[in-house]
Amino acid sequence: MPPDSIVDAESPFGPLVSTDWLADHLHHRDVRILDCRWYLRPFDDREGDAEHRKGHIPGSVHVRWDTDLADPDRPASMVAGAARYAEKMGALGVGDDTFVVLYDDHHVPVAARVWWTLRLFGHSRAGVLDGGITSWVASGGALETGVNTPPPAVFTPRFQVERYATKDDVLRALADDDHHLVDARMDKAFDAASGTIPGAARLPALGFLADGEHWVTPAAARGAIDAAGLGDDKPVITFCGGGVAATGTALAYELAGLGPVAVYDGSWTEWEADPATPKALHQR
């Protein structure tokens, strides 16, 4: 593709982009690549910033979902308000016409978290790199070290309320029994927690990674959702421990052609901290 052409408005692969697509568009002026790597302790002691410095996809910049894109005045690293979010995206070189490619290494689906925040603020020109940096290297993609400083851009936030759920929204859903509540925590995090939200079904985000790296096909995603009894017309609220895995399951719904769904941003961290919220012992 010539460097002065315009990339498609949305990913040609739904919420995903392939390593081949990225290789073809790596140096396109309208493409910005965000390295989203981050690790959940105590399950992994690595640091995303350090991993980025060791080697990253050329042209990428590192972003932290839990600090850069979070509101420091809210619990559980909940997403930043519109002004703060727009300022950070602009500083990362993400403007209204930018196509954003997001990647991680699938320790947890952090790229899906940042993808969700972009969609939450109305930016549809974004896709998660299928297979992440691991598949990029396996396909022959080069890595670089050093720090990239993209030119600043103007990002216009347009909040999409249907993608977001608050604690009050979850309480109303419980009272009315008019939503599917979906617990997306990976098994280790789920087992380590004290409980879950009453009536929640389990649909772990990492279960949608076919080989631990690549996302399943749209048909397989739809099949897994339907098999769990969660593929009807009932609205869906996903949650997890702190708002990351929930976005992976939200991405899977979109991959299956069933999205968008709402993500409970405060998730179990906020829910558990409130003595007034109902809790249930989880069952495997």
Q: Which residues does 123 contact at the CB level (< 8 Å), separation at least 6?
A: 89, 94, 96, 100, 155
Say how far apart CA 161 and CA 104 lie, in whole Å: 26
Say how far apart CA 94 and CA 150 lie, in whole Å: 9
Query: 180-183 and 61-62: which strand pairing?
Result: unpaired
Query: 126-129 and 201-202: which strand pairing?
Result: unpaired
Question: pLDDT value at position 12?
Answer: 59
Do residues 181 and 279 make contact, with C-beta atoms less than 8 angstroms apart? no
Q: Which residue has the higher pLDDT, 179 or 187?
A: 179
How do residues 232-253 score in pLDDT, each as one tens digit? 999 999 999 999 999 999 999 9
How do residues 79-115 score in pLDDT, each as one tens digit? 999 999 999 999 999 999 999 999 999 777 899 999 9
Largest CA distance in the chain: 58
Mean pLDDT of 206-228: 93
Q: Which amino acids are annotated catalytic?
A: 240
What structural domains does the chain harbor? 16-138 (3.40.250.10), 161-273 (3.40.250.10)
Question: pLDDT value at position 43?
Answer: 76
Amino acid at 117: T
The β-bridge partners of 126 are 100
- How far is CA 18 from each of CA 4, 132, 250, rounded to the nearest angstrom? 22, 9, 19
Q: Kindly report the average pLDDT of the chain as a whole number.
A: 91
Per-residue pLDDT band at 13 (split at 50, 70, 90): low
Only one residue has tokens 């979902």, namely 65
Question: pLDDT value at position 5?
Answer: 47
Q: Indicate the length of the chain as a whole number.
A: 284
